[in-house]
Amino acid sequence: MTPSLFIKAATVMVAMAVPAHADDTVKNIVGGIAKQYLQQEQDRAAFAQAQSVNTLNAYQSYLRQFPNGAYASHARDRVERLGGTTPAGSGGVSLSAADRVEVQRRLNALGYSTGGTDGSFGPGTRRAIALWQRDRNYAQTGTLTRAQATEILRGRSTGDVPSAGSAAAAEADGGGSAAQSERALGLSVAQRSAVQAGLTRRGFDTRGVDGTFGPGTRRAIANWQRANDLSATGYLTGPQFQRLTTR
């Protein structure tokens, strides 16, 4: 049975399941379920067709039909890898291969692991983008808009992240108001562990949750601060501590 015939048959079966005496509310609910199921099957069948052809035009055609479909992000990825542009109105943004690698590199520098820097926006990169979007109060789509891509590409590079040596030195000699302010908080081991857990939940690797703010935690704090448009000192203020430890 072809996908289209299967969809029609399934829709008829759902409709037949509604008793003739059912009230309008029940009929509307069942009708809505049938419509949703039909749309999902059409989406699936269209993407399967695009995959079977596996051409730029096929994926672009799918995106025109289902700009917000369940497989839209995969289709956009294929379009970009095949050297094409995403159709207008289909969401997302087309990036060059070099820009895609740079986006991944900068996300990793900010503490959002993409699982590689090969220019392919697979599940790891989509997850990293969604986490970056979450921490900036954007919709967590896992797909970048033009403005978001520009924000990442024009952001500070890895070289702007405080090095482990400089962070450790500042901690040791007590230099800098940021380090002094954090010490004034008098954080306990349990509170420091809560900070590390909060950073880890947000995708910033602290290299362990042990209540000790070593180089890994300092880097994670600085990356989180930068991602939230805060001064990337690597040391916490009171409000930042509250923010990171509040679920």
Q: Give the pLDDT confidence of 102-113 residue by residue, as tens digits.
A: 999 888 887 788
pTM across the whole model: 0.41
Instruction: Please tell me the predicted confidence (pLDDT) of residue 4.
Output: 54
Choose the weakest-confidence range: 91-95, 99-103, 152-156, 162-166: 162-166
The two tokens of residue 99 are 């820009």
Average pLDDT for residues 129-144, to the nearest whole number? 85
Cβ contact 171:233 at 8 Å:
no
Cα 247 from Cα 242, distance rounded (Å): 10
pLDDT at site 241: 93
- Per-residue confidence (pLDDT) for residue 133, from 0 to 100: 86
Helix (H) or strand (E) holding 127: helix 123-135
Query: How many Cβ atoms from other residues are within 10 Å of residue 126's Cβ?
Result: 18
Residue indicated by tokens 């503490």: 111
Is the CB of residue 212 less than 8 Å from the CB of residue 191?
Answer: no
| pLDDT greater at residue 22 or residue 81 | 81
Beta strands (DSSP E) in 103-230 are none
User: What ranges do the domains of the chain cover?
Assistant: 3-81, 97-158, 161-245
Average pLDDT over all residues of the chain: 78
Token look-up 């509170």 returns 191
Mean pLDDT, range 120-132, rounded to an integer = 88
Question: Nearest Cα to 121, choosing from 104, 138, 139, 98?
Answer: 104
